[in-house]
Amino acid sequence: MYLSCVMQPLWSYREATGLYRKTKWIMVICAMINIGLSIILGKTIGVIGIILASAIARIVTYVWYEPQILFREYFANSEKGYYVQLIKNIFLIIVLVVLGKQFEKVFFVSGYGTWILKASVLGAGFVLVTYLFYRNSEGVNYIRKKIKDERFKSSCYCSSNYRKSRRNNKRIKDIKMKKIKILIYKLWNKVYCWCHKKPKVVGTDDTLDKLIKDNCSISRFGDGEFSLILGGSIAFQRYDKVLEEKLREVLESESERHLVGIPNVFGNLAEFSEESRKWWENYLLGNRKKIYSILPKNKIFYDAQITRIYINRKDKSHSRDRFEKIKTLWNNKNILIVEGALSR
């Protein structure tokens, strides 16, 4: 069995390189020796003699002849190293067998537990002795290198995964904190709405009718104007104290012919499109209290969204009538359009 395992790599090379043509006669000779010795030794010592005959036949044929052919004609090298390594392997097997026999004398099996323990100790011992015997060999060095390379790759992979994991965890944490923050704002917003009266804003159609009927003017305030009043800047206008004062003056105006328009978004947002509704909900979460603080109490405001009667509305069935009303405002009138350099 051992000789078959030893010769298997040589046979693989023999088939792959085509050298079996030069070893075909050695096979015949090996078979003849095997048959002759099996008859002789089988009659004298029985089954063991037949096994021994097979071993002797292979040793005097395959074991010494095939390595010579392979190393000399294919590898262009001497076969002496192979024979030396083969002798070392046989010596190691003899050592392991002797150690195993000695161990059996001092360790007795009395049940499944001791049997498993004995097998484990013998297995670990054989592996340790084999490693010490081959520790400086080319094969063991190659295995060490592969393990080292794999550990390096694994450490790099783990390190990369760790960095990715940290980034993902931070991202998840930021998302969770943002959700918690939004939830707190929503709860606070609801409480604030319950405790404070929302601004009174006349609807879109009534605002247009008022402008047409009474020939009024309207100043429209939106998120940009609110920001300028509260000390902020917008894309096309930096904060200016004088501008803030003027905007407050207009916002608090009580002229009968002048309407002050603000977005009608402080109550139900069902009339707006999904995108517009979400925008105003998010905007008011952080700005509702600030806007309420600058709006005059008990003042009636008009809808500043009279110029946005189609794109941000959910129900567009009234858009045509509203556009006609807007046309009426400018009918037979001279119009002056004033536009900022960077405004829309």
- Please state the length of the chain: 344
Tell me the one-letter amino acid at 329: L
Residue 219: is its pLDDT beyond 80?
yes
Residue 182: is its pLDDT beyond 70?
yes
The CA angle 115-101-127, to the nearest 5 degrees, is 70
pLDDT (tens digit per residue) in 13-51: 666 766 666 777 777 887 888 888 888 888 888 888 888
pLDDT band at 164; cut points 50, 70, 90: low
CA quadruple 175, 177, 178, 179: dihedral sign: positive
Residue 5: is its pLDDT beyond 80?
no
| Sequential DSSP letters for 97-153 | HHHHHHHHHH----SHHHHHHHHHHHHHHHHHHHHHHHTTSHHHHHHHHHHHHHHHH
Residues 322/208, Cβ–Cβ less than 8 Å: yes
Strands 258-262, 217-220: pairing kind: parallel
Phi-psi region of 207 (alpha: psi -120 to 50; beta: other; left: phi over 0): alpha
- Give Cβ neighbours of residue 285 (< 8 Å, ≥ 6 apart): 182, 185, 186, 189
Find tokens 């100043």 and name the residue.
219
pLDDT band at 331; cut points 50, 70, 90: confident
Beta bridge partners of 337: none
Average pLDDT estimate for 124-148: 80
| Sequential DSSP letters for 265-319 | -SS--TTB-HHHHHHHHHHHHHHHHHHHHHSPTTPEEEEGGGG-SSTTBS--TTH
Residues 202/244, Cβ–Cβ less than 8 Å: no
Of 290 and 193, the one with more pLDDT = 290
pLDDT (tens digit per residue) in 223-280: 999 999 999 998 888 999 999 999 999 999 988 889 999 999 998 888 999 999 999 9
* Phi, psi values for residue 271, rounded to 5°: -75, -10
Strands 300-303, 258-262: pairing kind: parallel
pLDDT for res 46: 84
- Measured CA to CA, the distance from residue 89 to residue 318 in angstroms comes to 97
pLDDT band at 155; cut points 50, 70, 90: low
pLDDT for res 165: 66
**Which of 156-160, 188-192, 296-300, 309-313 has the weakest average pLDDT?**
156-160
Average pLDDT, the chain: 82
CA distances from 299 to 246, 253, 295 (A): 18, 10, 8
pLDDT for res 172: 80
Residue 190: is its pLDDT beyond 90?
no
HSE of 212, CA atoms in CB hemisphere, 13 A? 17
Residue 306: is its pLDDT beyond 80?
yes
CA distances from 269 to 191, 207, 261, 279 (A): 18, 18, 17, 11
pLDDT for res 14: 67
- Measured CA to CA, the distance from residue 97 to residue 125 in angstroms comes to 12
In the structure encoding, which two tokens stand for residue 104, read together?
A: 């059996």
pLDDT band at 3; cut points 50, 70, 90: low
pLDDT for res 153: 60
pLDDT for res 209: 94
Residue 208: is its pLDDT beyond 90?
yes
The edge-to-edge listing of strands for the beta sheet with 217-220 is 200-202, 300-303, 258-262, 217-220
Tell me the one-letter amino acid at 2: Y
In the structure encoding, which two tokens stand for residue 218, read together?
A: 């309207």
Average pLDDT estimate for 165-190: 77
CA quadruple 157, 162, 167, 173: dihedral sign: positive
- Measured CA to CA, the distance from residue 189 to residue 29 in angstroms comes to 100
pLDDT for res 343: 67
Name the percent of the chain lying above pLDDT 90. 25
